[in-house]
Every structure is written in C-alpha cells, then in structure tokens.
Structure 1
Amino acid sequence: MNLMRRYVRVIDGMNRWIGRVVMYGIFVMMGILLWSSISKTFFLPSLWTLEMAQFAMVAYYILGGPYSIQMGSNVRMDLLYGEWSNRRKAWTDALTVLFLIFYLAVLIYGGWDSLSYSLQYGERSPTAWRPYLWPIKTIMLVGLVLMLLQAVAELCKDILRIRGEDIPREVI
C-alpha cells in the first residue's frame, strides 16, 4: 500500500506540474492565430500558421489530458452516482478505469507504430508547408503514456478508497 501511495504521489505531482505548464499553451495558440490574421490582412498569408495552430492544439489537449483525469474533470452520468457511498463510487470507478487503461494501451500500441513509421520514412504532412510529423506524434505518444500512468494512479486511489482510506477525489 505504501508503494501505491508513493506511485500516486509521484504521478499526481508530475501530471499536475505538466498540466499547469501546458495550460498556458492556449496563449501560444492565440498568438499563432493572431499572427495568421495579421499576416492575411496586411502581408502575404503564412503557410504554416493554421497547421501550427492545429499542432499546438493537439499538444494542449493531449498533454492536458492527464491533469484533467487527475482533477476529475471527466464527464460522469450523475443520475445514480451522486447518491452512492464513497466506497461504491470507488468500486465503480475502479471497474471503469480498467476500460480506460485498456483503451489507452491500444492507443499507445498504435501510436508507437505510427511514430516508428514516421521516423523511419521521414513522414511529412501533405500540405504546402510540409512539416515533419514525428515531433507531434512524439508529443501525442508521451501524452498517451502520461494518461495511462494517471489512469493507473486513479485505479490505485480507488483501491485505497475501497480499503477505507480517505483519499480526496481531486487535488486543488
């Protein structure tokens, strides 16, 4: 149990820090899109702005996912769940997080294959800008691994709750 608590503490701390840093990525996207508007209005349109904004959005979304899981920001059907005891909620969460872990493992498997292909063949985007795709695929794979680690941490929290420990649902 001490190992579980330590794992939860390390993963929660790491994903909290990454999530807090990544949340400022919205300003990066805003800057890119602002430059896109300015360049289209006053200069020649930039070829890279739309795709770069898409890449920034992917990084923002994927790297912010583990923090979102940690904070309990996921959508729940609260019709019955809200009235249940903490122990019953923990059992339900422990069961459903297993599906999430399986799903993330499948995504990581496919993401690894896609990244390997991209690195091996120097895959590029088919747009006029033609950036290499391995950097964004690497970010996506790292984000999926972080989400998997956070999902396992959530499973550990649920197991500790089932055993009667008082673990807060979200860390603020």
Structure 2
Amino acid sequence: MPRIILAYIRAIDSMNRFIGRIAMYLIFVLAGILLWSSISKTFFTPVHWTLETAQFVMVAYYVLGGPYSVQLGANVRMDLFYGNWSLRTKAWVDAFTVMFLIFYLGVLFTGAISSTAYSLGYFGTEPFGFFRDLLVAFVTGGPGAAAEMLGFLERSPTAWRPYLWPIKVTLCIGVFLMLLQALAEFFRDIGRIRGVAL
C-alpha cells in the first residue's frame, strides 16, 4: 500500500482515538446532569435546562465517540454469517458495504451543514458558500465582520430556549470524523484483501 494511505490510516486512527477517549467521559457529565435534575425536582424548584442539556451531551457523546467505536469494531453487526468467514472474505464484504456508509455519511454531512447554516441565520440554498464567505470575513475582517454576516440565530422552542448552533456544529464535526474513519476502514479492508496487515 502507498505510504500516504498508511499515514492517513494512522493519523485518522490516532485522532479519533484521542477524541473518542475524551468523549467517553461525557457519560459522567450526562449522569451528573441527570442526577442534578432528579435532586432539583425532588428537593428544590425544577430547573429548565437539565433535560435539554442532557440531550445535547448525549448527542456529543454519541457522534464524537462513534468513530472510535468503529475503529475498535465495537459497532453492532449482524453476525449470523459474518463471524464464520475468513478475514479476507470479511474484508471483501466490509470494503463493499462501507461504500454505503460513506454515501450515507456524505448525505448526512451535507444535511448537517445546511442545518447549521440555518441555525446561524442563513436561509439561502448554498450553505457551503455561506461558510466559505463567513470564514473569509473572519480572516479578513475579524470576528466583527463575521458576526455581521449572521442572521437571526435559531433557538430551541422550549422554556429554556438555548441556541442550537453549538450542538449542530458538534454534529457536523462528529459526522465528518465518522466519514474520515469510514474511509480509513475502507483502506484498511483493501489492505487486508491484498495481504497487508494494518
């Protein structure tokens, strides 16, 4: 296999391992939020922020830890036939089926970018162009110039009414990391087919 592909696999694996091992501690943050929610409902006045914050933390835990889970092979598989196959047969099947995952993640990433642009007040049809222009405005004019490009920021319709763009940005990052990991898994499967241990 070319060195650049091997370097890509190593770089993506180490990056997603680092992010995933940090993200796995979000479960303790989630438990703390839910514990405080129970305590406040029992002994004090219930607070509005706990349920939605718990949902946001769970999304971050799931999407940022997902690539690490795929890397470890801890994702759910239908193992009825797969478990009895040889490593080479598994690699052929995985190399084929990961293409469906990459397509799905590409569609999901495009939708996440569009939704994030909407949450920042962009209502047009070119969300990637909006982010390009936002980046150019930030680099050339600073934060003030970028802030002028933002429209009405989307908020949750609940009583707490948090801004939604932070969790949507987290979703975009998580889906992008999963896309990179899926591509690394494809290259890894090609290597296994060719007899290269990765």
TM-score > 0.5 by shorter chain: yes
Q: Which residue of 2 aligns with 1:145?
A: 176
**CA distances 1:105-143 after superposition (whole Å, capped 9, x unpaired):** 000000000000001130000000000000000001100
Separation in structure 1 between the aligned mates of residue 12 and residue 99 of structure 2, nearest angstrom: 18
Q: Name the SS of the counterpart of 1:76 in structure 2.
A: coil
Q: Which runs of 4+ in 1 moved over 4 A?
A: none
Q: Which residue of 2 aligns with 1:94?
A: 95
Q: Which residue of 2 aligns with 1:129?
A: 160
RMSD of aligned Cα (Å): 0.9
Give the Å deviation of 1:79: 2.2
Q: Which residue of 1 aligns with 2:54?
A: 53
Q: Name the SS of the counterpart of 2:120 in structure 1.
A: helix
* Identity fraction in percent: 66
Consecutive unaligned residues of structure 1, counting only runs of 5 or more, are 168-172
Consecutive unaligned residues of structure 2, counting only runs of 5 or more, are 122-151
Separation in structure 1 between the aligned mates of residue 185 and residue 156 of structure 2, nearest angstrom: 36
Name the TM-score, length of structure 1 as normaliser. Answer: 0.94
Matches within 5 A, 1:6-155: 6-120=7-121, 121-155=152-186
**CA distances 1:90-115 after superposition (whole Å, capped 9, x unpaired):** 11000000000000000000000000
Give the Å deviation of 1:77: 2.0
